[in-house]
């Protein structure tokens, strides 16, 4: 069969090929698109640039907006040479230089500029002989500060306690007295009241890579600081999703002790960990699987009656689900399990921001199962688990849920995800060589020079890209910028501070702030969990169904429209949707002069038919015949 699917790259390449080979088509679109504006031009690739040049044609009515110092997407094909050579491609170009900055303080801008000039001469400022040094429209503020700790754990503590201290003393100079960290003059200039954050969402923690964020998440969680992970991949590695995957794996193979142990350890069951370890120890000593041990509590001494009751109940749930695994798809089996153990109720009994994200992540996982069922023939739990294993081995790990960006929580993200955003206070973390800048990795199969269309820089292109990324990180900060690093990230060798810090700041500042020994994880520092503010979740407009649901039961509204908790398919609703889609497609076809006979209508009906929501195949076929 002829393949008719295109990816995003194909869309550009086929369009480019069409315009290059069909002059009449090119003339048509040059006439149609008489004026062209391209934003973020520094992030375009070679093919996109060629497409733009073709469309501009002889008229050359084109305007591009960009900053070569913020070109950070080379890993996905962006060519900074596009903006560097724009004036050569369009000799009549009028250059407008925007140097007035309304976000950051002058100290931050000066430090960022001092850093980025190390990319000279491969910058537009040098190539075009212009002045790109930004001038702040804001009052004088604080210079960027460096926070230094002996270890990664102490670095995360230093960041968390700095956040707590600033929030606790937003009307006076903030010094971390309680942590034992010596911070010299963190807020020595400017009005201390005006630029200090008033909300958790005024803070951002930025890292070079996703896997650098987890230690900071754990420390913020320990201190009870609300946070949200923005634009992050890793749905399958979230604890709440690993629990659900463990349930599905146990259905496929009950002898998988590792997955069963994880399942038994879910907080919702409230099983005493000592009883769980005792059961595991007994099963190994007596050469039984852990699953077999769940039926032999009459032989296991020392397990509490409460734990036996919960473990026996869980065993019954697994057995019931296994019996139904041939007649129900994995989505139905998992939904029944989640409902039976009241997992949603468990999380929503304490409505913290983190629990809300857990619920939304579970909903995302159900959506992934739904997508699998829509496109795969094998709709069994075995098929889904095998599919999931293959996808995870291939590196697939979808994005996690995100709450509304107006939610009051510390923002944790990679620098790439922070592009275009701004925050009062920014921490750029893990600033040591080999982490930022990263070590250059050569391609397993080098691309021949003949295939490289863009003009390469004179300097080290990898280091220049990393430096531009650091520049973007620094310029996310409006008032307060903290650059943090530690001596030890595991391993034998002491890490060297990132060369970018020395480039951005005076050398004497690199060791300005020394962190002394911190009292880690002391109970007196534990903060109460912050309750979730639902106000940012309210939509700008309401449907009739939403209003009617809220009037009937506000709790039902919250579960359905805020947390979007999935519900079992309603066959009447699904049948109505099938009829609606069929008639819509039919009348759309009439407007396009397509076949309007009864056979065409019935064919559309069959294509739109959904098997969801029916108790049996017989019931489904009967309803289909009625339709």
Q: Does the pLDDT at position 289 exceed 80? A: yes
Which region among 89-93, 194-198, 329-333 has the lowest average model confidence (pLDDT)?
194-198
Q: Is the pLDDT of residue 184 over 60?
A: no
Query: Of residues 501 and 619, which shows the higher confidence score?
Result: 501
| Weakest-pLDDT range from 299-313, 318-332, 530-544, 557-571 | 530-544
Q: Per-residue DSSP letters for 80-136?
A: THHHHTHHHHSTTPPP----EESSS-HHHHHHHHHHHGGGTTSSHHHHTT-----EE
Joined together, the tokens standing for residue 499 give 């060369």
Report residue 250 as tokens.
């146990």
**pLDDT value for 540:** 62
CB atoms closer than 10 angstroms to residue 282: 19
Provide the angle, in degrees to the nearest 10, between the axes of the packed helices 330-340 and 381-393.
100
Q: How far apart are CA 262 and CA 276, in angstroms?
A: 10
Domain 8-96 homologous superfamily, CATH: P-loop containing nucleotide triphosphate hydrolases (3.40.50.300)
Q: What average pLDDT score do residues 543-548 get?
A: 80
Name the range with the highest mean pLDDT among 33-47, 354-368, 557-571.
33-47
pLDDT(176) > 70: no
What integer is the mean pLDDT of 264-278? 91
Q: At what angle do helices 239-252 and 330-340 cross, to 10 degrees?
A: 120
pLDDT at 175 over 70: no
| Separation of alpha carbons 429 and 448, rounded Å | 36
Rounded mean pLDDT, 357-385: 88
pLDDT at 430 over 90: yes
User: What's the chain's average pLDDT?
Assistant: 83
CB-CB contact of 131 with 125 (8 Å): yes
Query: Is residue 179 predicted with pLDDT exceeding 70?
Result: no
Q: Are 67 and 98 in contact (CB under 8 A)?
A: no
If 0-12 CB within 10 Å is exposed, 13-18 middle and 19+ buried, where does residue 451 land? exposed
- Among 154-168, 459-473, 603-617, the least confident range: 603-617
* 235-394: CATH number: 1.10.486.10
Tokens of 358: 């857990």
How many residues are present in the chain?
Answer: 627
- Rounded to a whole number, what is the distance in angstroms from the first to the last CA of the chain? 32
Residue 525 pLDDT: 44
> Is residue 517 predicted with pLDDT exceeding 70?
no
Hey, which of 185-194, 560-569, 599-608 has the most confident mean pLDDT? 599-608
Residues forming a β-bridge with 497? 432
With beta carbons less than 8 A apart as the criterion, state whether 563 and 360 touch.
Answer: yes
Does pLDDT of 513 surpass 50? no
According to DSSP, the β-strands at 62-64 and 36-38 are: parallel
pLDDT of residue 186: 38
Per-residue pLDDT, 404? 56
Mean pLDDT, to the nearest integer, of 145-172?
A: 83
Q: What is the reported pLDDT for 211?
A: 83
Q: In whole angstroms, what is the distance from residue 204 CA to residue 473 CA?
A: 10
CA count, 13 A, side-chain hemisphere, 75: 10
Across 220-234, 525-539, 546-560, 598-612, the highest mean pLDDT is recorded for 598-612
Query: What pTM was computed for the model?
Result: 0.67
CATH class of the domain comprising 101-169+199-231+402-439+462-536: alpha beta
Tens digits of residue pLDDT in 67-122:
999 999 888 888 888 999 999 999 999 999 999 999 999 999 999 999 999 999 99
**What are the domain boundaries of the chain?**
8-96, 101-169+199-231+402-439+462-536, 235-394, 571-626
Q: Which of 210-214, 219-223, 239-243, 557-561 has the lowest mean pLDDT?
A: 557-561
pLDDT at 487 over 50: yes
Of 131-135, 159-163, 195-199, give the lowest mean pLDDT range: 195-199
Report whether pLDDT(182) > 50.
Answer: no
Between the ranges 44-58, 160-174, 216-230, 364-378, where is the mean pLDDT highest?
Answer: 44-58
In the predicted model, is pLDDT for residue 534 greater than 60? no
CB-CB neighbours of 2 under 10 Å: 3
CB neighbour list of residue 582: distance below 8 Å, 6 or more residues apart: 601, 604, 605, 608
Looking at residue 460, its pLDDT comes to 86
What pLDDT band is residue 142 in, cutting at 50, 70 and 90? confident
Which 8-state DSSP code applies to residue 267? G
For 350, counting Cβ atoms within 10 Å of its Cβ (0-12 exposed, 13-18 middle, 19+ buried), the class is exposed
Burial (CB < 10 A; 0-12, 13-18, 19+), residue 170, is middle
| Whole-number pLDDT of residue 173 | 34
Residue 34, burial from CB neighbour count under 10 angstroms (0-12, 13-18, 19+) = exposed
Average pLDDT over residues 46-66: 92
In whole angstroms, give the CA distance from residue 93 to residue 114.
Answer: 28
- pLDDT in the model for residue 511: 45
Residue 541, pLDDT above cutoff 90: no
Residue with tokens 């294993």: 389
Mean pLDDT (whole number) for 52-66: 92
CA 254 to mean position of chain CA atoms: 33
Q: Label residue 591 by pLDDT band (50, 70, 90).
A: confident
Span 123-147, average pLDDT: 88
* pLDDT band at residue 189 using 50, 70 and 90 as cut-offs: very low
Whether residue 171 is predicted with pLDDT greater than 70 in this model: the reply is no
Q: pLDDT category, 341, cuts 50, 70, 90?
A: very high
pLDDT of residue 180: 33
Residue 514 has pLDDT above 80, yes or no: no
> In this predicted structure, what is the pLDDT of residue 403?
60
Reply yes or no on whether the pLDDT at 16 is more than 90: yes
With 60 as the cut, is the pLDDT of residue 381 above it?
A: yes
**Both tokens of residue 236?**
């399958």
Strand partners, 480: 425
Q: Could you give the C-alpha distances from 442 to 80, 445, 447, 462, in angstroms and in order?
A: 20, 8, 10, 10
Over residues 453-477, the mean pLDDT reads 88
Q: Identify the band that residue 237 occupies on the pLDDT scale cut at 50, 70 and 90.
A: confident
Which residue from 442, 518, 513, 448 is spatially nearest to 483, judged by alpha carbons? Answer: 513
* Whole-angstrom distance, CA of residue 242 vs CA of residue 361: 11
Q: What is the CA radius of gyration of the chain?
A: 29
* Predicted local confidence at residue 143, as pLDDT: 85
Q: What Å distances lie between residue 300 and 270, 289, 304, 544, CA to CA?
A: 19, 14, 10, 57
Alpha-carbon gap, residue 568 to 571, rounded angstroms: 9
Alpha helices for 106-213 (secondary structure H): 106-116, 124-127, 152-168
For the residues 238-259, what does the mean pLDDT come to? 93
Residue carrying structure tokens 């070109």: 71
Q: Confirm whether 8-96 and 101-169+199-231+402-439+462-536 share one CATH topology.
A: yes
Q: DSSP secondary structure string, 268-329?
A: GG---HHHHHHHHHHHHHTT--HHHHTT-TTS--S--HHHHHHHHHHHHHHHHHHHHTTTS-
Instruction: Check: CB of residue 416 under 8 Å from CB of residue 72.
Output: yes
Between 534 and 180, the higher pLDDT residue: 534
Per-residue pLDDT at 238 exceeds 90: no
| Local confidence band at 235 (pLDDT 50, 70, 90 cut-offs) | confident
Query: How many helices (DSSP H) and strands (DSSP E) are in the chain?
Result: 26, 10
């Amino acid at each position: 069969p002829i393949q008719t699917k295109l990816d995003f790259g194909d869309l550009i390449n086929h369009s480019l090929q069409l315009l290059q080979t069909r002059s009449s088509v090119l003339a048509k679109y040059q006439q149609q698109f008489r004026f062209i504006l391209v934003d973020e031009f520094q992030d375009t690739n070679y093919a996109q640039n060629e497409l733009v040049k073709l469309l501009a044609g002889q008229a050359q009515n084109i305007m591009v907006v960009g900053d070569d110092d913020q070109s950070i997407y080379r890993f996905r094909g962006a060519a900074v040479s596009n903006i560097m050579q724009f004036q050569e491609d369009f000799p009549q170009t009028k250059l407008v230089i925007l140097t007035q900055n309304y976000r950051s303080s002058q100290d931050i801008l000066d430090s960022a500029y001092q850093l980025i000039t190390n990319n000279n001469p491969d910058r537009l400022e040098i190539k075009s002989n212009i002045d790109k040094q930004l001038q702040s429209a804001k009052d004088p503020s604080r210079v960027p500060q460096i926070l230094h700790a002996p270890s990664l754990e102490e670095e995360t503590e230093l960041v968390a306690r700095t956040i707590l201290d600033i929030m606790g003393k937003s009307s006076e100079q903030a010094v971390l007295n309680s942590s034992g960290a010596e911070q010299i003059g963190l807020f020595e200039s400017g009005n201390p009241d005006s630029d200090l954050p008033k909300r958790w969402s005024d803070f951002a923690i930025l890292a070079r890579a996703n896997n650098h964020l987890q230690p900071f998440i754990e420390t913020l969680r320990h201190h009870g600081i609300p946070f949200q992970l923005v634009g992050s991949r890793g749905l399958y590695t979230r604890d709440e999703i690993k629990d659900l995957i463990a349930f599905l794996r146990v259905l496929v193979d009950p002898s998988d002790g590792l997955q069963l142990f994880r399942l038994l350890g879910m907080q919702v069951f409230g099983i005493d960990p000592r009883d769980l370890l005792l059961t595991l120890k007994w099963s190994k000593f007596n050469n039984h699987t852990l699953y077999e041990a769940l039926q032999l509590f009459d032989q296991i001494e020392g397990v509490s009656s409460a734990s036996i009751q919960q473990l026996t109940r869980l065993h019954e749930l697994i057995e019931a689900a296994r019996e139904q695994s041939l007649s129900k798809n994995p989505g139905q089996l998992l939904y029944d399990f989640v409902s039976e153990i009241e997992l949603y109720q468990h999380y929503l009994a304490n409505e913290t921001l983190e629990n809300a994200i857990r619920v939304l992540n579970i909903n995302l996982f159900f959506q992934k199962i739904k997508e699998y069922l829509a496109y795969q023939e094998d709709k069994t739990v075995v098929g889904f688990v095998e599919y999931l294993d293959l996808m995870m081995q291939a590196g697939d790990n979808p994005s996690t849920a995100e709450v509304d960006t107006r939610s009051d929580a510390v923002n944790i993200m990679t620098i790439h995800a922070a592009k275009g955003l701004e925050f009062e206070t920014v921490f750029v973390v893990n600033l040591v060589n080999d982490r930022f800048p990263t070590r250059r990795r050569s391609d397993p199969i080098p691309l021949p020079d003949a295939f490289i269309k863009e003009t390469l820089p004179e300097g080290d292109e990898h280091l220049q890209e990393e430096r531009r990324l650091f520049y973007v990180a620094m310029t996310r900060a409006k008032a307060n910028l903290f650059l943090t690093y530690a001596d030890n990230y595991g391993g034998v060798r002491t890490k060297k501070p990132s060369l970018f810090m020395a480039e951005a700041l005076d050398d004497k500042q690199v060791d300005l702030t020394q962190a002394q020994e911190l009292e880690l994880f002391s109970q007196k520092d534990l903060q109460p969990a912050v309750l979730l503010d639902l106000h940012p979740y309210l939509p700008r407009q309401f449907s009739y169904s939403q209003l009617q649901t809220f009037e009937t039961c506000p709790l039902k509204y919250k579960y359905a429209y805020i947390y979007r908790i999935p519900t079992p398919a309603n066959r009447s609703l699904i049948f109505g949707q099938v009829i609606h889609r069929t008639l819509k497609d039919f009348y759309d076809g009439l407007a396009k002069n397509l076949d309007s006979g009864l056979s065409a209508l019935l064919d559309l009906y069959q294509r739109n038919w959904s098997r969801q929501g029916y108790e049996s195949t017989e019931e489904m076929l009967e309803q289909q015949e009625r339709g």
